[in-house]
Structure 1
Amino acid sequence: MNSDASTELRHRTVEAPAGRLHLVEQGDGPLVLLVHGFPESWYSWRRQIPVLAAAGYRAVAIDVRGYGRSSKPEAPEAYRMLDLVEDNVAVVRALGEESAVVVGHDWGSNIASASALLHPEVFRAVGLLSVPYAPPGGPRPTGVFSQIGGPEQEFYVSYFQQAGRAEAEIEPDVRGWLAGFYAALSADTMPASGEPDPHFVSRAGGRLRDRFPTGVLPAWLSRDDLDFYAGEFERTGIIGALNRYRNMDRDWEDLAPHRGAPIKQPALFIGGAVDASTTWMADAIDAYSTTLPALTASHLLDGCGHWIQQERPDEVNRLLTDWLATLDAEALRRDRA
């Protein structure tokens, strides 16, 4: 075990295009940058950081701009994908590193894949959790999402587009909203097979939370964990997190020059078999031979929902450390050749 692996987590902030980015790190060795999704924080990686550190890596989990202790730019357009990618590059540089393996979950998976696509000289490999890689291109996103659910329901991405609307639902009771949101996508608390996914659609004129499970927490989420997440959003507000959704059309325009582009670095995908992200995007997973030509492995964990590294930390940790070890072995082989 690396001698630093047993030390406490180290909190620090670094300068980045966002202004300031908060990160938590542990361990020494090759840098592994961990990027969370919505609505989470660096804390989502609490069960991975010490394991990666013990395996000989410098594990660094960030608060994405708009979250936690990181800066929260005011302009909605400050949350476009290009800016989030540059934040990741700035973190690598601020830590004195030349390159990193980037691993992301949920929106963090999209941020990680865009980082690898746009800066292959910095991000030598990419790990994607829950949300598969789909190359830029296709129809304009908000147009597609507006058609989901039909006239009587509204898809959550469309629901999030109007500034202030979701904020008014969430911020009066952040803790309760988060509890329902997490439960809606966890394998042990999501609706039974065949029932509507309550998180993803609201009834016409209604709220998302009206269809959340109530009165139950997923097994992976303790009351202390929920208190931590709620405290972060009660302090910072939810608007920075929601502004990520409000830039999807800007991302579509910004990334148009990379339409259909594969990611050529070594890649890993881990998804939950009962996660809607993997069922909706099954075609993206099927296309990995073309879109991720250097894919090392793709795993679907039976009986696992969306919050994969928290629902199944031991399996995810094993898959991550095994994959990272193969990267190190391949790098050593190249060095000796």
Structure 2
Amino acid sequence: MTQQPPVTAAVHRLVPTPAGRTHLVEQGTGPLVLLLHGFPESWYSWRRQLPALAAAGYRAVAIDVRGYGRSSRPAGTESYRMTELVEDNAAVVRALGEESAVVVGHDWGANIAANSALLRPDVFRAVGLLSVPYAPRGGPRPNEVFAGMAGGPEEFYVSYFQEPGRAEAEIEPDVRGWLAGFYAALSADTMPGPSDPDPHFVAHGGRLRDRFPSPGRLPAWLDEAELDSYAGEFERTGLSGALARYRNMDRDWADLEPYDGAPVPQPSLFVGGALDASTTWLADAIEAFPKTLPGLVASHVLDGAGHWIQQERPDEVNRLLVEWLAALP
């Protein structure tokens, strides 16, 4: 058995990208694994994966996606379209002196990772998706779909996020409290019960946080200091850059028309939580993996897990990632 070199401490860096600069945290040496977070998170979402991947012999790099954390926040909502984010990721790989990388994403990061593999197969040789399965571009405009998901006096949360300034007005006066409630609402041990109002919907004239669990109870994966780390970044940057991802979905739909229905052929991995709405609502996308992810190596849905899967179940996710990475050609 080959002995891996000692794991060095994580290093923070800024590298040039089309965004302006991208902040990343790097740990370990070996084949490059690029880690992409979702909403409302940051590189910090991968704090339990960086040392594990480094110990397994990989160069693990977690970035702040443009609009988040210490990365640049370009002006204009259109600056956050999917094609721009893909080019940021390719630029990070080049800035690190590498020609190729494995890309792994969670939540919105999973969508960005899949499209990075789709649009830049010359750079991204394999793709791991956490929580959100790959669904190729197609069908009606996303905004039409989300508008149709609302029922009666309710509005789907994506539509709520898409109106500039509206979600910011709810979140920014109490970033820490809002984040605590949002994380709890989608975590296995604190999410509302089946008879409670669904936190993915907003009552007309209401707020998303009206359906969060009772204040004060954090999910088991998140302590007060960790919540402070997340809240501190968003208190400094505001939420508009992060929310711009939701506000580009129709623009992405138009940009990606040449890839309508396109599969991602690279070796792939999916890991989701059985209690996560992203897994249950998109069950058809998971069933379609033989066509949409023809290079799929493994697909896992973890019993009793919610949405924040690499933080809720770090040991299990780390094991699955390392096993998958080790099997890649």
The AA in structure 1 aligned to 2:5 is S
1:223-282 Cα deviation digits (max 9, x unpaired): 001000000000111100000000000000000110000000000000000100000000
The 1-side partners of 2:162 and 2:194 are apart by 29
The 2-side partners of 1:158 and 1:151 are apart by 15
Preserved CA contact (<8 Å) 1:154 1:202: yes
The 2-side partners of 1:295 and 1:47 are apart by 24
Q: What is the Cα deviation at residue 203 of structure 1?
A: 0.7
Report what 1:86 is aligned to: 87
The AA in structure 2 aligned to 1:203 is A
The AA in structure 1 aligned to 2:118 is L
The AA in structure 1 aligned to 2:87 is E
Report what 2:296 is aligned to: 295
The AA in structure 1 aligned to 2:73 is K
Query: Between Structure 1 and Structure 2, how many residues are aligned?
Result: 326
The AA in structure 1 aligned to 2:18 is P
The AA in structure 1 aligned to 2:100 is S
Report what 2:271 is aligned to: 270
1:55-70 alignment, distance < 5 Å: 55-70=56-71
Distance 1:313 1:147, change over 3 A: same
Q: TM (normalized to structure 2)?
A: 0.98
The AA in structure 2 aligned to 1:52 is L
The 1-side partners of 2:220 and 2:104 are apart by 24
1:174-196 Cα deviation digits (max 9, x unpaired): 00000000000000000113433
SS of the residue aligned with 1:264?
Answer: coil
The 1-side partners of 2:4 and 2:197 are apart by 47
Report what 1:334 is aligned to: none
The AA in structure 2 aligned to 1:210 is D
Which structure 1 residue ranges, 5 or more long, are not aligned? Answer: 332-337
1:41 equivalenced with 2:42 (yes/no): yes
Report what 2:193 is aligned to: 192
The 2-side partners of 1:196 and 1:50 are apart by 38
Preserved CA contact (<8 Å) 1:40 1:229: yes
The AA in structure 1 aligned to 2:129 is L
Preserved CA contact (<8 Å) 1:4 1:28: no
1:74 equivalenced with 2:75 (yes/no): yes
1:209-228 alignment, distance < 5 Å: 209-214=209-214, 215-228=216-229
SS of the residue aligned with 1:125?
Answer: strand
Report what 2:235 is aligned to: 234
1:98-142 Cα deviation digits (max 9, x unpaired): 000000000000000000000111100000000000011111001
The 1-side partners of 2:300 and 2:135 are apart by 17
Greater mean alpha carbon deviation, residues 290-299 or residues 148-157: 148-157
Report what 1:312 is aligned to: 313
The AA in structure 2 aligned to 1:21 is T
Preserved CA contact (<8 Å) 2:197 2:211: no
The 2-side partners of 1:175 and 1:2 are apart by 39
Q: What is the Cα deviation at residue 4 of structure 1?
A: 4.9
The AA in structure 2 aligned to 1:114 is N
Report what 2:287 is aligned to: 286
Preserved CA contact (<8 Å) 1:2 1:27: no
Report what 1:202 is aligned to: 202
Report what 1:149 is aligned to: 150
Report what 1:18 is aligned to: 19
1:163-211 Cα deviation digits (max 9, x unpaired): 111001000000000000000000000011343322x111111010111
1:287-323 Cα deviation digits (max 9, x unpaired): 0000001100000000000000000000000000000
Report what 1:335 is aligned to: none
Preserved CA contact (<8 Å) 2:192 2:212: no
Preserved CA contact (<8 Å) 1:2 1:28: no
The 1-side partners of 2:301 and 2:226 are apart by 25
Q: What is the Cα deviation at residue 47 of structure 1?
A: 0.2
The AA in structure 2 aligned to 1:230 is A
Preserved CA contact (<8 Å) 1:184 1:197: no
Q: TM (normalized to structure 1)?
A: 0.96
SS of the residue aligned with 2:148?
Answer: coil
SS of the residue aligned with 2:168?
Answer: helix
The 2-side partners of 1:88 and 1:150 are apart by 38
The 2-side partners of 1:106 and 1:302 are apart by 18
Could you say what the CA RMSD is over the residues aligned between the two structures, in angstroms?
A: 0.8
1:111-122 alignment, distance < 5 Å: 111-122=112-123
The 2-side partners of 1:233 and 1:285 are apart by 32
